[in-house]
Structure 1
Amino acid sequence: MNRIILVIVGLFSGFVGVSQEGVKRPKLVVGIVVDQMREEYLYRFYDHYSEGGFKRLMNDGFEVKNAHFNYIPTKTAPGHASVYTGTTPRVHGIIANDWYDKEEKRYRYCVEDETMTQVGGSAETGKISPVNLQTTTVTDELALFYQERAKIIGMSIKDRGAVLPAGHQPDAAYWYDTQTGEFMTSSYYKEALPKWVKKFNKQGLADSYMQGAWETFFPIEKYVESGDDNRAGERPFAGKNEATFPYDLKAYSKPRSLIKSTPWGNTILAEFAKASLESEGLGQDEVTDFLAVSFSSTDYVGHTFGPYSKEVEDTYVRLDRDLESLFQALDEKVGKGQWTVFLTADHAVAPIPEAMKEKHMPADYWGERSAREVLNAKLNEAFGIDSLIESVSNEQLFLNHDLIGESSLTVSDVKAYLISLLKKTDGINAVYDGDDISNYSGNNYDVSMLAAGYNQHRSGDILLIINSGWIDGDPNGENTGTTHGSHYSYDTHVPMLFYGWGVHKGKTYDYHPITDIAPTISMLLNIGLPSGATGQPIVEVFE
């Protein structure tokens, strides 16, 4: 009798083992994008990180040290779209945060949708959807694979940081509204906010965090990895005349807007992500769910103070603790070893030119914001016709084709004159005809980067490459803060970390474009590739 029982137990145990071996996917994938994060921040601030945040991913996961964006322009919306579609703006169509619409002759925001209305929040921030995204995302492919049985949620302070990663058919995308201090969505996703979101909003966390002061997490003298407080070119902040710690947050007149430019914008998002785990039941069955979390406050802080500031360092030290808390919640709610995470950025950032010039390094400003007026005046002198340029934006020129067609000029005449003129302009490294870029298939680095970001229906007639270290300056010469958008390494080199279920521990120094992330996750989950994917899976992650 005992022998029979042992045989039955053995057979049952073998069945369980086969079942476990048959599990091919994690219960939850968490995609994390840290807006404007340079790869070097992983190491420059390493000694101030906890063991459970960035270090957990670096030391126990897989690190791609030489990860780069592979197109121009390196901006937030194209960055998020490229991470999740596995392709570049040439294919997915998100060529910038906003761009000049050649057909409608107006500027178009990347996730605008006039047919939608707000759900929660305020009306002006509710006309939002992924309608402008022209390919599927890895989250879309997960939804298709499971025929909508997988839960997919995107969230961010910025609407574009929530909408583009979540794809076309998620359960929801949520973003922060600066008018109400609450998370909201649009009618594309929901008819009403879920009870758990309303409950979270009622806590009033934004108002609560803005009642204090922003002081450094560690004594400021320990932040030797950053430059002096109040360096050249840092932008005054929170009502102060100079950019120096501490900052009295409660003295600012619009605290609900200010929070996005402080570390606590990241904190409330991390708290919102943790609330979603339990409230949405993420990772609680054998159908893989997906949570896309994009931390935006790092970008706002970086624009204001620059990459070598005390404020940026403190923001990352605090974000590290937010990540540690989120990872602990994942262990508790989903289970250790049952979830997979990747962490990357949507772009990096240029140093502040004023600060670089003080150190005798090559950097300066050029005048995109005044270029349209200046160039149209030159064209008027040459051809006797005004307003031949409709827009200069995202380092591209859009010509007035209707006006040119009504004259004796040709588009080629106008292009040739402008290209000759722009080549002689300070700060402009190279000038290209859009038609040449659209048809390019060669190996020139500059041109291939432009071509990868060039969408035939949305991009301009003439494309510019600005000098390394240069950014667009203020027309009045009041230059503070910094930006991003180029193909230089300070804008393209970002972290790429994988951790958790199915991920091999290790690192690679090989070059990998950011478009390799979505195919890698697709292979991990054994689902379809995004429809326009041009990247390749990173095989080292699995070996």
Structure 2
Amino acid sequence: MNTNKIVSLWLLVAFCFSASVVQAQRKSKNKDKDQSQKQEVVFTTPYTSPKLVVGIIVDQMRFDYITRFWNHYGEGGFKRLVGEGFNCKNNHFNYAPTYTGPGHASVYTGATPATHGIIGNNWYDKVSDTEVYCVSDDSYASVGTTSDAGQMSPFRNKVSTITDELRLHTQMRGKVIAISLKDRGAVLPGGYAANGAYWFHGKNEGSWITSTFYMNQLPKWVSDFNSSDMAESYKKPWTSLKDISTYVESGTDINNYEGLFKGELNSAFPHDLPALWDTNDQFDILKATPYGNNLTTDFAIASLDGESLGADAITDFLAVSYSSTDYVGHKYGVNSKEVQDTYLRLDQDIERLLKTLDAKVGKGEYTVFLTADHAAVHVPAFLQDMKIPGGYTDSKSTKERFSEFLKYSYGSEDIVKNSSNGQLFLDHNIIKNLDLNLAEVQEHFAKELMSYGEYSHVYTGEQMWANNYTHGIPHILQNGYSQERSGDVITVLNSGYISASARSKGSTHGSPFPYDTHVPLLFYGKGIKKGETFEKTTIPDIAPTIAALLGISFPSGTTGQPIVEVLRK
């Protein structure tokens, strides 16, 4: 082989070796790049950290208030939440009774009364043999008023709340502020660890107050707000927001289904609040008008600056409960022009709150959920006139008939210690002294009550203890049944019926039927997907959904599940 061929062969070998080295280096770089990309995915933060979570509960809001008044809403309130957020269209309370106290507790604990123990607004306490209020606590004093309106705490709630878990997770650095016209609407969402829970004391004061459970004196921003006469500014006539002739989604303005303020001759717009002021407990009259919601929004916005909410990367929580919708619903009823006007004005409040959050916290930097603590039935007299099942029970006649049953069967009425929230509480000592079997007595009572024709369901405490109901009315009742606190016999009035002693005008709530259980559930903001679902969701799902979003522990009694469709991956 000549010299030229040898040199050429060595050059070829060198080139091939060089090419293989380059290729190997490229593969190595690509491999390193792939591994780097994999590491980047692996170490992406597995949770979302909004600067602020805003929980909104609208008291007594039926789901169909979104659709019924849709064409009247502006673009920045309900429509913004629905259009840019996630809409759970088949959201229900999965327990009864459907009242304000249990509703707020269930939203924030992710549990039902069977677990958290708030079985009503008021209930008969079997230990003390007295009726108790869900947040009353005379071991604490009022702050901001000389009245006893501030003697409140969450101690009757048996488990933690999502707000408690946020405080624990952030080593108490994340702030929690809860606000509502109603004390229970602030105390139960605020939980045990809130920085502040505030409610409105009307009468002749018109001030936001709290309890020594939270603090010994009001913060300066709250005192300044109370001194600003903001509440006084709403002492003005309640006129309709729009031309009332356009409120075709509601009934007539004057009818026999609506209640009246003291001093009014009929229920027609406008309602002259200045003229009605003194005869309707002064500032308390604001609660039953949209102005109560306006004032709540004013105070919520003041809290953003006052508490520097959403000002840093540590998540804070603002819990807002709009209560005026409940007061208006109770007074005027589901089909009233007053309810429609209240929701059109609430739509403006929500828009105002969202715009303020955009400006102060930053659009895309906060997360909102909106739901209700219960819905409401149409005025039963209205249902009757429409030839739809509904009406009023003859409470007096029922009581007299049941009294005769007790005397005949047991020789005395004393065997029943209390009747409240659709439940009977029996005297177990008397039953024991008569050598009777408790389960048999309960069943005897249940069969007697079912024979009256006014109840669709009657169950016994023994049935609630012994069975595991998985669907239907008994399942809903069992979720609302606390073994420690509930009664011996549980009754459910026929659909559309309420007790005649409850109210003869306006709407009410409390039943396990869809008109009381079907409520909105909207999620919006950071970490939330845009979309909707018709799959059934329940109220206890809210807290674990927010907990999953934040990457924090579920509240200690959680029975709900995260709604995975809501969360952006």
- TM-score, structure 1 as length reference: 0.93
**Residue number among 503, 508, 532 corresponding to 1:483 in the alignment:** 508
Equivalent of 2:198 in 166, 170, 174: 174
**Secondary structure, counterpart of 1:337 in structure 2:** coil
Q: Distance in 2 between matches of 1:163 and 1:522?
A: 20
1:222-371 correspondence to structure 2 within 5 Å: 222-252=246-276, 253=278, 254-367=281-394
Specify which of 66, 69, 74 is matched with residue 93 of structure 2. Answer: 69
**2:237 corresponds to 1:213:** yes
Q: Is the 8 A contact 1:71 1:453 kept in 2?
A: yes
Deviations 1:170-195 (CA, angstroms, capped at 9, x unpaired) = 10100001231100000000100000
Is the alpha carbon distance of 1:424 and 1:507 closer, same or farther for their aligned partners in structure 2, counting shifts above 3 Å?
A: same
Asked if 1 retains the 8 angstrom alpha-carbon contact of 2:333 and 2:505, the reply is no
Deviation sequence 1:480-514 (CA, Å, 0-9, x none):
12210111110000000000001111111111011
Report the equivalent of 2:213.
188
Secondary structure of the corresponding residue to residue 214 of structure 1 = coil
For residues 98-247 of structure 1, the aligned pairs below 5 Å read: 98-179=122-203, 180-210=205-235, 212-247=236-271
Question: Structure 1 32/368 Cα, relative in aligned 2: closer, same or farther at 3 Å?
Answer: farther
Give me the CA root mean square deviation: 1.9
Task: Kindly provide the amino acid, as one letter, of the partner of residue 226 in structure 2.
Answer: N
Tell me: CA distance 1:448–1:406, structure 2 relative to 1, closer, same or farther (3 Å): same
User: Retained in 1: the 8 A contact 2:181–2:287?
Assistant: yes
Distance in 2 (alpha carbons) for counterparts of 1:24 and 1:540? 15
Please say if residues 305 and 311 of structure 1, whose CA atoms lie closer than 8 Å, have aligned partners that are also in contact: yes
**Paired residue type of 2:247:** Y
Does structure 1 residue 533 correspond to structure 2 residue 558? yes
**Which runs of structure 1 show a deviation greater than 4 angstroms over 4 or more consecutive aligned residues?**
20-23, 367-374
How far apart, CA to CA, are the structure 2 residues paired with 1:187 and 1:320?
34
Q: Please list the CA deviations of residues 216-236 of structure 1 after superposition, one character each: whole Å capped at 9, or x if unmatched.
A: 000100000111112332112
What CA distance in whole angstroms lies between the structure 1 residues aligned with 2:106 and 2:71? Answer: 31
Instruction: Rate the CA distance shift 1:370–1:181 in 2: closer, same or farther, 3 A.
Output: farther
Q: Secondary structure at the match of 1:265?
A: helix
* CA shift for structure 1 position 438: 2.5
Q: List per-residue Cα deviations over 1:310-338 (Å, max 9, x = no partner).
A: 00000000011111111111011111110
Question: After alignment, is 113-122 or 437-446 more displaced?
Answer: 437-446
1:514 aligned residue: 539
Q: Give yes or no for contact 2:469–2:478 (8 Å, CA) kept in 1.
A: no
Question: 1:376 touches 1:388 (CA, 8 Å); kept in 2?
Answer: no
* Alignment match, 1:416: 443
1:6-21 matched pairs, under 5 angstroms: none
CA, structure 1 residues 457+264, in 2 after alignment: closer, same or farther (shift >3 Å)?
Answer: same
Q: Secondary structure of 2:476's partner?
A: helix
- Which digits, 9 at most, give the CA deviation of each residue in 1:389-411, with x for residues without a partner? 11111111111222333335443
C-alpha contact 1:207 1:255 (8 A) present in aligned 2: no
Identical-residue share of aligned pairs (%): 48
Whole-Å separation in 1 of the counterparts to 2:335 and 2:240:
15
AA paired with 1:85?
A: T
Aligned counterpart in structure 2 of residue 434 of structure 1, from 461, 480, 486? 461
Per the alignment, residue 450 of structure 1 pairs with 477
Q: Give the drift of 1:238.
A: 4.7
Alpha carbons 1:365, 1:427 under 8 Å: kept = no
Residues in 1 aligned to 2:223 and 2:63: alpha-carbon distance in whole angstroms: 36
Q: What is the CA distance between 1:112 and its match in structure 2?
A: 1.1
Q: Partners of 1:43 and 1:81 in 2: how far apart?
A: 27
Letter in 1 for 2:238: W
Rounded Cα–Cα distance in structure 2 between residues aligned with 1:469 and 1:384: 35
1:45-84 matched pairs, under 5 angstroms: 45-84=69-108
Aligned: 1:381 with 2:408: yes
**In structure 2, C-alpha distance between the alignment counterparts of 1:153 and 1:376, rounded to whole Å:** 48
Counterpart amino acid of residue 356 in structure 2: A
Cα-to-partner distance string for 1:279-313 (whole Å, 9 max, x where unaligned): 11000111000000000000000011111110000
For residue 368 of structure 1, report the CA deviation from its aligned partner. Answer: 5.5
Distance between the aligned counterparts of 2:206 and 2:478, measured in 1?
Answer: 40
Indicate the larger mover: 107-116 or 21-30: 21-30
1:217–1:314 Cα contact (<8 Å) kept? yes
* 1:465 Cα deviation from its structure 2 partner: 1.5
Which amino acid is 2:79 matched to? K
Q: Give 2:113's match in structure 1, choosing from 82, 89, 97.
A: 89
* Counterpart-to-counterpart distance in 2, 1:370 and 1:291: 48
- Aligned equivalent of 2:419, options 389, 392, 397: 392
Q: Which residue of 1 aligns with 2:22?
A: none
Deviation for aligned residue 1:442: 2.9
